[in-house]
């Protein structure tokens, strides 16, 4: 698609430089409409991702009464989204009507794990060392988070057997994104808490 857009632009530049007196020319066709539609999808996806992330951030921050909780709650989601777009780039998966919906869906699916772990962490005994609290929270919440994510990944993986490529891509990208969110909440979020030691999260408590 980028190559075709460059071709269209080069062709328009050629027409401008080699115009004939009294003759006007204009590039048209279904392909131009398709390019415009893809550009619109990209803008709409970026906007929907930004809105959904902001809404999730505000909900987490409100429930925990801390903007820091909101920021940390987004870490697994953002990691999952990065893995999603990385998979699209690696497998050369085009952005279309189906794949453009995945990022927003993934935000809704991934936020549950973040909230689950953060609540469990805040309910650990505060007199314990930080490393022990993180380990305790993982021991309690890690298994349900793992099996919940694994169930979703297994369910969407069924779509990988589809002969219709957009459906296959949808199943692949959702599975990859959910795997990224799982890695983010099991490994990255606890490590981030351990190394940054955010006071609001360490001292916070949710009843």
The answer to whether the CB of 59 falls within 8 A of the CB of 107 is no
pLDDT the model gives residue 51: 87
pLDDT the model gives residue 207: 47
Q: Which of these, 181, 122, 172, 170, lies nearest to 148 by C-alpha position?
A: 181
User: What are the residue ranges spanned by the domains of the chain?
Assistant: 2-203
pTM across the whole model = 0.79
pLDDT the model gives residue 183: 93
Which has more pLDDT, 108 or 114?
114
Say if residue 113's pLDDT is above 60: yes
Please give the average per-residue pLDDT across 151-180, as a whole number.
89
Q: Which CATH class is domain 2-203?
A: mainly alpha
Say if residue 170's pLDDT is above 90: no
């Amino acid at each position: 698609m980028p190559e075709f857009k460059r071709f269209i632009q080069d062709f328009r530049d050629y027409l401008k430089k080699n115009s004939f007196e009294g003759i006007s020319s204009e590039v048209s066709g279904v392909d131009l409409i398709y390019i415009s539609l893809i550009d619109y999808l990209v803008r709409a996806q970026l906007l929907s991702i930004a809105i959904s992330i902001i809404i999730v951030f505000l909900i987490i921050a409100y429930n925990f009464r801390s903007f820091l909780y909101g920021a940390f709650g987004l870490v697994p989601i953002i990691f999952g989204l990065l893995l999603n777009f990385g998979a699209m780039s690696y497998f050369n998966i085009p952005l279309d009507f189906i794949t453009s919906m995945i990022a927003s869906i993934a935000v809704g699916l991934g936020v549950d794990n973040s909230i689950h772990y953060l609540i469990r962490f805040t309910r650990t005994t505060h007199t314990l060392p930080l490393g022990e609290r993180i380990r305790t929270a993982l021991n309690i919440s890690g298994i349900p988070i793992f099996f919940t994510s694994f169930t979703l990944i297994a369910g969407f993986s069924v779509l990988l057997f589809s002969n219709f490529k957009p459906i296959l891509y949808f199943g692949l990208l959702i599975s990859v994104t959910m795997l990224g969110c799982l890695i983010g909440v099991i490994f990255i979020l606890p490590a981030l808490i351990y190394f940054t030691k955010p006071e609001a999260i360490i001292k916070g408590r949710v009843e």
